[in-house]
């Protein structure tokens, strides 16, 4: 039996339905920046310890760095052992990795194997996984065909996607990017993922046998996240459904979906938008913000900023639908007609 595996082999196991638990042995900072989706973090060295060991490795000697690393790691082994035993009860495979498949994963892997524990190690660590994603993401995207929900801000495209998700494959890019895609798109949300982690999430979302996928029309960037060029092209060439709704319904939906109690974030976003509006409009918006008149703010932004910037690259084959009780039925009829 092989205990050290390439990511290509692990991916084949995932495609066959095996339940895999990835255990990331890197420091918490590394883990938070990017990781294999679904991985848990058991840092053999914390951020401070990693810095000390790395400095010793460079400035003193490899042997002294190894000695320090072992000393830092030894007290963590009992609790890490218990966690691995727990994971083995719930998963078909438990796979350890660190940055490059070096000391941090190998020390714990060897320790567990010496005790007869059935764990595996990812050859090349995260770096080899990342290489696999970079080399295969574009080809995966090209396998898909997209039905694209388009429409002005607040018409309910994401809301419709979420309803479709109960029974049909969707790609919710705003959810993956943790951003709604406009200057105000980060209000009420936590920090966006790194570009690397977003691409990992994107690969995971598309890694299935579904050919036709519903998604939402997006610009090339969602907040700080850059969409892959191949994905932009595929979405651009997809069949379009233009969702429409009355402005009062759009305002109500935006008030519901955004955290309007986060006044600091709203204020920061208003300062961001001032470069695109007149000084008079900026003054008016700040006054309405201080008064808490969000209905006026949202209405005016929609009519005078967002709607005029909305790109209408429609074709005669695109479908226009009102966001009403029949919208899901009409979307599915459109899908079945393709």
Low-confidence ranges of the chain (pLDDT < 50): none
Q: Degrees (nearest 5) of the Cα angle 261, 267, 273?
A: 130
Strand partners, 21: 94
Active site residues: 98
CATH superfamily, region 4-132: Rhodanese-like domain (3.40.250.10)
User: Cα-atom radius of gyration of the chain, to the nearest Å?
Assistant: 25
Fold identical between 4-132 and 144-337? no
d(CA 9, CA 11): 5
Write the CATH number of the domain with boundaries 144-337. 3.40.50
Could you state, in order of their start, the residue ranges of all structural domains in the chain?
4-132, 144-337
pLDDT tens figures, 45-102: 999 988 988 899 888 888 888 888 888 888 899 999 999 999 999 999 999 999 999 8
Comparing CA positions, the residue from 257, 54, 85 lying closest to residue 158 is 257
C-alpha count within 13 angstroms, C-beta hemisphere, residue 202: 29
Q: What is the DSSP letter of 227?
A: P
**Residue 200 DSSP SS3:** helix
pTM of the model: 0.93
pLDDT tens figures, 295-324: 999 999 999 989 988 866 677 778 999 999
- Are the beta carbons of 188 and 254 closer than 8 angstroms? no
């Amino acid at each position: 039996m092989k205990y050290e595996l390439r990511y290509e082999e692990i991916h084949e196991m995932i495609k066959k339905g095996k339940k895999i638990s990835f255990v990331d042995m890197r420091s918490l900072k590394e883990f938070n920046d990017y990781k294999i989706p679904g991985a848990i973090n058991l840092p053999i060295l914390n951020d401070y310890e990693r810095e000390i060991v790395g400095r010793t490795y460079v400035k003193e000697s490899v042997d002294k760095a190894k000695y320090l690393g072992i000393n830092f790691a030894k007290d963590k082994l009992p609790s890490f052992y218990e966690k691995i035993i727990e994971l083995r009860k719930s998963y078909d495979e438990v796979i350890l990795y660190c940055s490059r498949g070096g000391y941090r994963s190998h020390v714990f892997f060897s320790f567990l194997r010496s005790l007869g524990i059935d764990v595996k190690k990812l050859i090349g660590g995260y770096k080899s996984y990342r290489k696999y994603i970079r080399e295969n993401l574009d080809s995966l995207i090209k396998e898909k065909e997209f039905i694209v929900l388009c429409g002005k801000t607040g018409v309910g495209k994401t809301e419709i996607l979420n309803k479709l998700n109960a029974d049909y494959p969707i790609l919710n890019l705003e959810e993956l990017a943790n951003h709604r895609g406009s200057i105000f798109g980060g209000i009420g949300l936590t920090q966006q993922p790194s570009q690397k982690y977003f691409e990992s999430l994107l690969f995971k979302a598309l890694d299935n046998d579904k050919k036709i996928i519903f998604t939402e029309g997006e610009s090339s960037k969602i907040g700080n996240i850059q969409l892959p060029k191949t994905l932009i092209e595929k979405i651009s060439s997809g069949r379009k459904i233009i969702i429409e709704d009355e402005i009062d319904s759009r305002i109500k939906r935006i008030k519901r979906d955004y955290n309007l109690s986060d006044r600091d974030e709203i204020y920061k976003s208003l300062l961001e938008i001032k470069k695109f509006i007149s000084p008079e409009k900026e003054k008016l918006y700040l006054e309405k913000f201080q008064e808490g008149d969000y209905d006026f703010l949202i209405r005016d932004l929609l009519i005078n900023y967002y709607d005029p910037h909305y790109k209408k690259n429609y074709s005669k084959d695109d479908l226009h639908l009102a966001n009403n009780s029949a919208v899901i039925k009409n979307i599915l009829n459109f899908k079945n007609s393709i």
